[in-house]
Amino acid sequence: MKFAKLLHNPGAGEGDLTKKDLITLIQSAGFGCSYSSTKKKGWENIESMETDFLILAGGDGTVRKVASELLDKKLLDKKLPIGLLPFGTANNIAKTLGIIGDTNHIIQSWNEKYLKKFDVGKIYGLPKCKFFLESFGYGIFPNVMRKMQELDEKEINTPEKSLQKALLVLQKIIDKAEPSYCKIVVDGVEHVGNYLLAEVMNTASIGPNLKLAPLADPGDGVFEIILVADSQRNEFAEYVENKINGREIPSTFTTLKAKQLSIFWDGMDAHVDDELVDIKKPEVVKIELLHGLLEFFVPRSILASA
């Protein structure tokens, strides 16, 4: 019998499944498991010699929290595959990996043992930010995150309300946002301009499911760099308007590909995944792709289409 360590964020999403519910479903699929809440001290104590894989029950923030321990503190003696149960608000990582649908079905699929490598972005130049899983970027999106933090929790007390409100906030910000000078160097080639947004993306979507890099594959060994110029303001606003109205129209913004790059943004609005970055002054940041540091169980259909 395979044995898993279940790391659960009981406050993620709407919290429909309890600790007991999750353990029952996991055991019914033929796995043994131990349980820790990521809200309590000591959750990071993982017995690597006794554990065959990890189960993360939560959203993108939970994945980042656990990955931070695995990558930064090197707690484990061996690489452990991850079974992801997407219980968060946006679930950008899970959606990019094709991990969607019924929780029991997802758990049962782990018996198929289909694993997908997941790249990690290594960040140089920001002392408190060492890596990203989803994206690193500047401009409009960090402003949206800041505005969302200021809202009354009653306005965003369900995942649906939170995502919709974030889109409405973004819509207002696009209208008034000032572009910033940005220089990106990829393979010795400079890309310079005034942009509303610059995102180095590993997943297909960020934030409120903004699918800015629809073809992104987090295991293909390259990042997608998305640039939205001031001249594309109306196009970006139209994309968000469609999202608000429930229509996903593919975006067509400038896209670069890179394994390594440097980026300078003349401003201090930045984020790493779902966290704002405290920047004292504009600096050149270097980013390196570390291929396949994590591995996730994924449905058979995802690997077949890759």
Integer angstrom CA distances of residue 141 from 132, 172, 173, 202, 212? 15, 12, 9, 16, 12
Helix count (H) and strand count (E) of the chain? 8, 15
CA–CA distance, 149 with 169 (Å, rounded to integer): 11
Alpha helices in the chain (DSSP H): 19-28, 60-72, 92-97, 103-109, 140-149, 159-176, 233-244, 300-305
Confidence at residue 75, expressed as pLDDT on a 0 to 100 scale: 46
Contact 206, 165 (CB under 8 A): no
| Eight-class DSSP state of 32 | E
Distance CA 251, CA 271 (A): 21
Give me the tens of pLDDT residue by residue for the chain, a chain 306 residues long: 799 999 999 987 656 789 999 999 999 999 999 999 999 998 888 777 788 999 999 999 999 999 988 886 654 457 899 999 999 999 999 999 999 999 999 999 999 999 999 999 999 998 788 899 999 999 999 999 999 999 988 888 888 999 999 999 999 999 999 999 999 999 899 999 999 999 999 999 999 999 999 999 999 999 999 999 999 999 999 999 999 999 999 888 999 999 999 999 999 999 999 999 988 899 999 999 999 999 999 987 655 555
Kindly calculate the radius of gyration of the chain based on its CA atoms and give it in whole angstroms.
19
- Judged on CB neighbours under 10 Å (0-12, 13-18, 19+), 103 is middle
Q: Which of 45, 41, 58 is nearest to 92 (CA)?
A: 58
Task: Give the span between the Cα atoms of 209 and 179, in whole angstroms.
Answer: 23
Token digits for 40?
A: 């309590």
Torsion sign across C-alpha atoms 45, 51, 52, 53: negative
Is this structure's pTM higher than 0.85?
yes
User: Is-contact 260 225, C-beta < 8 A?
Assistant: no
Domains of the chain: 3-113 (3.40.50.10330), 122-291 (2.60.200.40)
Model confidence pLDDT, tens digit, residues 156-205: 888 899 999 999 999 999 999 999 999 999 989 999 999 999 999 999 99
Amino acid 250: pLDDT: 85
How many other CB atoms are found less than 10 A from the CB of residue 54? 22
Residue pair 183/192 in contact by the 8 Å Cβ criterion: yes
What pLDDT is attached to residue 12? 78
- What single letter denotes the amino acid at residue 267? G
pLDDT for the residue 82: 96
| Residue 274 confidence (pLDDT) | 93
Using the 8-state DSSP alphabet, how is residue 281 labeled?
A: S
Please give the Cα distance from 279 to 276 (Å, whole number).
Answer: 9
Q: Quick check: 247 and 175 in contact, CB under 8 A?
A: no
Q: Tell me, what's the pLDDT at 295?
A: 95
Within its chain, how far is the Cα of 282 from the centroid? 24
- The per-residue pLDDT for 77 is 57
